Structure 1
Amino acid sequence: MSLETYRLEVREIEAGGIDADVYGDDDLIVESTHVGYDEHDVDQPDSREEYPAESTEVTADVTTLDLQVTRLDGGFSFRLLGDRDELAALRVDDEEWGLE
């Protein structure tokens, strides 16, 4: 095993939801998930100039990755686990992203 850098990217998509992708050192997606707003009774604004996005990076020596998403207290929490330990997390608050 060796150290590898992973980038967790979370972004809103025009179709009404959030895509979360984890990229490896080679910029290929190694984990991915999608959250549909309709699954959580959340609405995005009728129009946006830009769709919000956030990202974070972590370097770790792991054999397994797992990307988890939960809905809690007016937001979505995205957690990247490596060998069952939390490596990185991003939170999307409804208010900050203008969700209703």
Structure 2
Amino acid sequence: MDIVTSLVSQRAVVIFSKSSCYMCYTVKRLFADLGVNASVHELDQDPNGKEMERALSNLLCKSSSVPAVFIGGKFIGHTEKVMSLHLSGDLMILFRNAGAIWL
């Protein structure tokens, strides 16, 4: 769990993803289009990916599903929650409060 906690604390926006996941691609593309430079950790390509996946599962108290999005060190949710926040306008507020964007 320390590895996930450490990674999440290092950047304003962190996404745990899998390279073959289309929902992960959607979230990563959305963030890029919004001008957010997220730190992306591809669990299926990282040598510590299995360890990070187990840590996410323990941290989130369920089986790890990706993408797992953290903003400002806080777990925000998966695709559905991110899209809901985006549609309501609250996602940009979270980005601003975390220092991920300057607009």
Under a length normalisation based on structure 2, what TM-score does the superposition of the two structures give?
0.26
Higher percent of residues as helix: 2
Under a length normalisation based on structure 1, what TM-score does the superposition of the two structures give?
0.27
When Rg is computed on C-alpha atoms for both structures, the one with the higher figure is 1
Higher percent of residues as strand: 1
